[in-house]
Amino acid sequence: MKLLIVSQYFWPENFKINDLVQELVARGHELTVLTGKPSYPDRDGFSDFYAAPERFVRYKGARVVRVPLMARSAGPGLFLNYLTFAVTAAFLGPIKLRMTEFDCIFVFEPSPVTVGIPAILLRRLRQVPMVFWVQDLWPETLSAVGVITSSWLLALIRRFVRFIYDRCDLILAQSRSFVPRIASNCAHPDRVAYFPNWAEPIYGLGDGEAAREVPSAEGKFTVMFAGNIGDAQNFPAILDAVEHLRDRGDVRFIIVGDGRISDWVASEIRRRGLADMVLMLGRFAVERMPSFFRHADALLVSLKPDPVLSATVPAKLQTYLAAGIPVLAMMNGEGATLVQEAGAGLVCAAGDAKGLADAVSQLASFTVEERRMMGARGRNLAAAEFDRAKQIDKLVAWLSELKYSDRRTL
């Protein structure tokens, strides 16, 4: 099958779509990726690309077609980043792809939903079906993280989202809770299906070397947060929990990653006098993450207390489970239920800093064997519910069905 992937984010940025492209190519499919120049979370970490962009035109056998976009920045700069990709991909995409054949279009949407605009145009021009994988609900997520508070603007964006959803042949929801929310916002609710994230196979810890960037701390219980440092992750509550644990000398927090509020978190750590308990290491390539996880006694996932975020299952959760390390979940909803019902870790309510501190203390009091069994239950859940091969088998079946379907409204 010949597939076009449309994603604002792609390698060398670290996103789930990279792994999907690699696996589809390995299965013999011919892939082209329409994407932007790397800028997430900023351009500073992509000097290799900007020094020699010609080295980034192929990825694991897939052809990569890039369009320009404005760099990400706070406030209006983020909106312009979203807008410029939608505009340049819509105008330049058809030109750059004029000699490229494809049977289906697959859209990866972690945010923004505007990635659907160039895909819809290409769908119309080429008369091929389009699949839209929703990782973030719009406009609900914008409201949840406080980016937009105006009711009339949220209503306008909702109409825009409906416009995009109504032109999809299949909409994939990353959590079960997303399915009814998406279905209520589109003309074809029967075209919405559950399609969760999975853990990349590189996350098996094996016998590799532990990351040298993490200082040794014999006798300390290490809680690790890995991933995006943004508003949704509720770092004020995480730091409050650290303060509750200040009198303990045997607990430390390691943060691996970066994001929009990284600078704020670093300044808060200094202001609160928590530098001896919290270490921020910055962003590393996804391939390096197993070496960092080898230092972790527990892996932390957190979200703000918001109904929309409660419907989200953070992509890192499947990775945490597959790593076989106990999970500390400070969140509500579907993700928390997964951890709790599997016995794969300890859960407290979103925003409950004292609850998180108590969970850390409780987990630290467990024996090594008790924590090992907890991690094993998480690994079993990941294998049963979020197996990579099974999920991609399902996706390929959907794409093949759409390729030959006559139900499309092109």
Residues 275-300, mean pLDDT to the nearest whole number: 93
Q: Are 171 and 134 in contact (CB under 8 A)?
A: yes
Residues 193 and 211 grouped into a single domain:
no
Which tokens go with 276?
Answer: 């001896």
- Dmax (CA) for the chain in angstroms is 66
CA pair distance 195, 293, nearest whole angstrom: 26
Q: In terms of domains, do 344 and 216 share one?
A: yes
C-alpha 81/C-alpha 40 separation (Å) is: 10
Shared domain for 184 and 226, answered yes or no, is no
The answer to whether position 409 is within a domain reads no
Domain shared by 156 and 216, yes or no: no
pLDDT of residue 42: 79
Give the chain's domain count: 2
Chain segment 131-145, per-residue pLDDT in tens:
999 999 888 877 776
Task: Indicate the DSSP class of residue 203.
Answer: G
- Spatial distance between the Cα atoms of 26 and 53, rounded to a whole number of angstroms: 24
Does residue 410 have a pLDDT over 50? no
What is the per-residue pLDDT for 408?
47
One domain, residues 378 and 396: no
Q: How wide is the angle at C-alpha 242 spanned by C-alphas 241 and 245, nearest 5°?
A: 95
Whether residue 189 is predicted with pLDDT greater than 70 in this model: the reply is yes
Q: Does residue 150 share a domain with residue 61? A: yes
Residue 409 has pLDDT above 70, yes or no: no
What does the pLDDT average to over 52-64? 96
CB atoms within 10 A of CB 81: 19
Least confident residue range of 29-43, 144-158, 333-347:
144-158
List the domain range (segments joined by +) for residue 154. Answer: 2-198+387-403
Co-location of 241 and 138 in the same domain:
no
Mean pLDDT (whole number) for 354-372: 97
**CA 3 to chain CA mean position, Å:** 22
| Whole-number Å distance between alpha carbons of 58 and 340 | 42
Residue 410 domain-assigned (yes or no): no
> pLDDT tens for residues 82-114?
999 999 999 999 999 999 999 999 999 998 999
Q: Are residues 22 and 100 in the same domain?
A: yes
Residue 170 and residue 101: Cα distance in Å, rounded? 20
Do 27 and 125 share a structural domain?
A: yes
Q: Is there a domain that residue 408 lies in?
A: no
The reply to whether 184 falls in a domain is yes
What is the domain-level CATH number for residue 159?
3.40.50.2000
The bridge status of strand 221-226 relative to strand 192-194 is unpaired
